[in-house]
Amino acid sequence: MPLNPTLARIRTQQDRAYGLLEGAAANKLPDDVNRLDTLVQILEDCEQQFIYLNQQLLASESALDALQYRPEEQSERHTIKVTQGMINQKILPFNRLVRKWHFREGQKIEIDFGGSVGFVKSEILPGTKALRARGVVGRFYREHGVKVGDILLLQQVNSHTWSIRRKTPYR
């Protein structure tokens, strides 16, 4: 992982100071020996501060990422209510979503179905406006115990990838 620019400058100055110390120590002038010992101690303290600052920076960047990443707020989400026909025919309909211009017929999409199904690339069929991968949809319904009346949550992961999960309504 590359260093933060400020930490990189600190590291460069430390390296330069260590080089100067080594050169001065090679001369072994009696008056400078005490000053060299003091400088060595200061540089060692700087090294400890550098390590501490780097750890704090990494921790704060992680915390900031966690605060800024809110997929439930930043990504597009759609719900689909499961019917008996969907389960019987193993279809995942996009007709309501196509009508509202969220998707278009023939659009290729990648959906993470979770479980053993995983990621599947498919398309929205023209006419029926359902996902082409019916076998995958049927397996998803079985694996996740999808029943009539359940709500499926379709959530955008990135511009071409979506995830789908079962959200059981209160009964």
Tokens of 94: 């996009």
Together in a domain, 51 and 103: no
Q: CATH no. for residue 139?
A: 2.40.330.10
In this structure, the answer to whether residues 37 and 11 fall within a common structural domain is: yes
Q: Are strands 151-158 and 108-112 parallel, antiparallel or unpaired?
A: unpaired
pLDDT by position in tens, the chain (length 171): 556 677 777 777 777 777 777 777 677 666 666 677 777 777 777 777 777 777 777 766 665 555 454 444 456 788 889 999 999 999 888 877 776 667 778 888 888 888 777 888 888 888 888 888 889 999 999 988 999 999 999 888 887 788 898 886 554
Domain stops at, among 68, 89, 119: 68
Number of domains composing the chain: 2
Where does a domain end: 68, 84, 107? 68
The whole model's pTM is what?
0.53
Q: How far is CA 96 from the centre of its chain?
A: 29
